[in-house]
A and B are shown apart, each in its own frame.
Chain A
Amino acid sequence: MYKYDQYDQAMVDARVEEFRDQVRRRLDGSLAEEAFRPLRLMNGLYLQLHAYMLRVAVPYGTLNSVQMRALGDIADKYDRGYGHFTTRQNIQYNWIKLEEAPDLLADLAKVEMHAIQTSGNCIRNTTSDQFAGAAADEVIDPRPYAELIRQWSTFHPEFSFLPRKFKMAVIASSTDRAAMRLHDIGIEIVRNAAGEIGAAFYVGGGMGRTPMIAPCINAFVPIDQMITYSEACLRVYNRYGRRDNKYKARIKILVHELGKDEYTRQVEEEFAHLLTQGIEPPLAELERIQAHFADPAFETGLSDAIDRTDPDFALWVDRNTHPHKQPGYAIVSISLKPVGGIPGDASADQIRVMGDLALRYSFDELRVTHTQNIVLPHVKQADLYALWQVLQANDLAAANIDRIGDIIACPGLDYCTLANARSIPVAQKISERMAAKEQEIGELKLKISGCINACGHHHAGHIGILGVDRKGVENYQLLLGGCEGADTSLGQITGPGFDEDGIVGAVERATDFYLAQRADGERFLDTYRRIGMAPFKEAIYG
């Protein structure tokens, strides 16, 4: 994985000292809150419901064991012994003290990490496929391109004060595991008929109060022009994106209002101009980055056979491992969704254990997924049983990836100032209620947001739940039919909302109806798409 060079480290170290001085001036009264607030946000420090919250960037979700262990130690040293992995492949700490934040950032910098651009109207952490570099189905490893975007976008002076926040995702396989088309810019690295590598640009997607699926505006940008094309997309947005209304300020609104064709025309015009400016990083820089992502020293000649006599282990293998490009290896997903647990939360001890497991079994690599789980990308099949035993001993062996218990949930009203309703208790109740039927139901992605900002991706859930405030009382809307994959679709609201217990019953009625209606091999989403909303609505509301 990528290692900082002297420039990366110097920039991050300088930023820590700059923030240390800003905090000092805030505490001694030299800076008022109005002046300080944008400065702390630029360093990922929010003031949330109970305390300051720090969002730490995990570039394209990739970590090594030293970094993971440091995240666990930070949870103990500066927080209350746990962290929360997010849908942006980051980690958040909920109980940070302002006076200790500079020391925390200094500890992060020691392991090549930071919280820069995890807030504010700038280009946020670029996300990617959690199976990158390991998946059997990818065209090429997308992480060097994500890293190139990270370097281009970090402290980019032109794009530090965009109309609104800006999220990018990069994938390199036709199986979209990163919700790519629900980003401001989604890039799919592709190979054309001539065997050349290029980037397909999808622009103007997003969730929030106005969910939109990004259209493809250019199916093949030569890969050595990817940054230039990105710059053109951003420049048109920065020029014409609305700044008078924050609810209409995202690029999806601009693309929608201009129309895809006109937006694309303007981007192409800007792109043609930028090509004359020579802003693309030299090929040598990409090659320097790519060298950091060379395959680890896989053993060859290994068998994929494993002993499946332990039924609990066999179930976990079926649910939580995925095909690897190298024979004899598997990609392992560690579920952070035990029955009745808090989605995405992990204790300091669990975080350190996962770091240790990565060092021992996965060539020192981990990934954070946008589904709030952790991946060990390169595990020998022969090591799976030993790995699983350690996971079991640490309450990390839930066998439920992409099952109904593998719920995405935002922090909701238990932690977030923006939320209108609690998400986590609903996730916990559904997880407990549906546990016995989980394997029978099969693949079902359930996502919960505590407000319209949709951090819990409710629009993209096969079943989505949106918490709203009805005169001071929590209420939950139910959506069906969302999907974040290559066949991205947006969920539709079923009808009137429910209270906290009511929404759990509604989910159960929807899944029971699916079990009664499904044809052979159909997932919940397939059945919904085949028979439509009306019969589901009848089953849910009676």
Chain B
Amino acid sequence: MKILTGNDLKSGAVTWWDGTEWSLHVEDAVDVGEHADPVIAREQAARRVTGAYAIDAARDAQGIRPAHIKERIRALGPTVRPDLTLKPADPEAGNWVI
């Protein structure tokens, strides 16, 4: 599947396209198939996101998992600072990245 990611223009936070708006959580991402470009153009023009692009991902038992480790790190946060990730209470969350 293809999902969209980018950064919130004001805060820089990593965001994922959920079909309506941009979510902080990759599990909210939707498959945009071949329709990435018009969504990116519209959302960037509206300044709701910056640096948006499409990536490969797959859906497994735990939800949506980006294909590349770089995007999985973006989705969770730095593996060396669990306290700064989106799941600070789960010290094992980094295993999902690797």
| Other 20 A-B pairs with CB < 8 A, given A422-B80, A424-B80, A428-B80 | A27-B9, A29-B47, A33-B51, A50-B77, A50-B78, A51-B12, A51-B14, A52-B12, A95-B12, A95-B84, A97-B10, A97-B12, A414-B73, A417-B70, A419-B70, A422-B73, A422-B79, A425-B79, A472-B67, A474-B69
Closest-by-CB residue of A relative to B76 is: A50
Closest-by-CB residue of A relative to B79 is: A414
B44-88 interface mask toward A, CB cutoff 8 Å, 1 = contact, 0 = none?
100100110000000000000001111001100111110010000
Q: How many residues of A contact B (CB 8 A)?
A: 28
A486–B77 CA distance with the chains assembled, in angstroms: 40
A413 adjacent to chain B (CB < 8 Å): yes
Take A33-B51, A47-B51, A80-B84 as given contacts and tell me if A98 and B68 are in contact as well, using a CB distance cutoff of 8 Å.
no
A422–B94 CA distance with the chains assembled, in angstroms: 13
Q: How large is the interface on B (under 10, 10 to 19, 20 to 34, 35 or more residues)?
A: 20 to 34
A414 touches B80 (CB 8 A): yes
Take A47-B12, A425-B80 as given contacts and tell me if A33 and B73 are in contact as well, using a CB distance cutoff of 8 Å.
no
Which residues of A are found within 8 Å of B47, using beta-carbon distances?
27, 29
A51 touches B11 (CB 8 A): yes
A47–B14 CA distance with the chains assembled, in angstroms: 10
Shortest Cβ-Cβ A-B pairs, 10 listed? A51-B12, A52-B12, A414-B78, A424-B80, A99-B10, A97-B11, A414-B80, A33-B50, A472-B68, A49-B74
B23 adjacent to chain A (CB < 8 Å): no
A96–B67 CA distance with the chains assembled, in angstroms: 27
Contact of B13 among A26, A33, A51 (CB under 8 A): A51
A415 adjacent to chain B (CB < 8 Å): yes
Take A422-B79, A425-B79 as given contacts and tell me if A47 and B7 are in contact as well, using a CB distance cutoff of 8 Å.
yes
A219: shortest Cβ distance to chain B, in Å?
45
A469–B77 CA distance with the chains assembled, in angstroms: 19
A51–B78 CA distance with the chains assembled, in angstroms: 11
A27: shortest Cβ distance to chain B, in Å?
7
Which residues of B are found within 8 Å of A428, using beta-carbon distances?
80
Closest-by-CB residue of A relative to B51 is: A47
A342 adjacent to chain B (CB < 8 Å): yes
**SS class, residues of chain A in contact with chain B:** mixed
**SS class, residues of chain B in contact with chain A:** loop
A246–B26 CA distance with the chains assembled, in angstroms: 34
Closest-by-CB residue of B relative to A45 is: B12
Most A Cβ at <10 Å: residue of B47, B51, B70, B79 = B70
A411-432 interface mask toward B, CB cutoff 8 Å, 1 = contact, 0 = none?
0011101010010110010000
| A–B complex contacts, Cβ < 8 Å, 28 sampled | A27-B9, A27-B47, A29-B47, A33-B44, A33-B50, A47-B50, A47-B51, A49-B14, A50-B12, A50-B14, A51-B7, A51-B12, A52-B12, A95-B84, A97-B10, A97-B12, A98-B10, A99-B10, A342-B80, A342-B81, A414-B73, A414-B80, A414-B81, A419-B70, A422-B73, A424-B80, A428-B80, A474-B69
A50 touches B74 (CB 8 A): yes
Closest-by-CB residue of B relative to A26 is: B9
Which residues of A are found within 8 Å of B67, using beta-carbon distances?
472
Closest-by-CB residue of A relative to B44 is: A33
A124–B82 CA distance with the chains assembled, in angstroms: 33
Which residues of A are found within 8 Å of B80, using beta-carbon distances?
342, 414, 422, 424-425, 428
A98 touches B79 (CB 8 A): no
Most A Cβ at <10 Å: residue of B12, B73, B79, B84 = B12
B66: shortest Cβ distance to chain A, in Å?
10
B11 touches A98 (CB 8 A): yes
Which residues of B are found within 8 Å of A413, using beta-carbon distances?
69-70, 73
A98–B80 CA distance with the chains assembled, in angstroms: 24
A194–B59 CA distance with the chains assembled, in angstroms: 75
Closest-by-CB residue of A relative to B50 is: A33
A99 touches B78 (CB 8 A): no
B1-21 interface mask toward A, CB cutoff 8 Å, 1 = contact, 0 = none?
000000101111110000000
Which residues of A are found within 8 Å of B11, using beta-carbon distances?
51, 97-99
A526: shortest Cβ distance to chain B, in Å?
33
Which residues of A are found within 8 Å of B77, using beta-carbon distances?
50
A425–B84 CA distance with the chains assembled, in angstroms: 15
Most B Cβ at <10 Å: residue of A26, A49, A425, A473 = A49
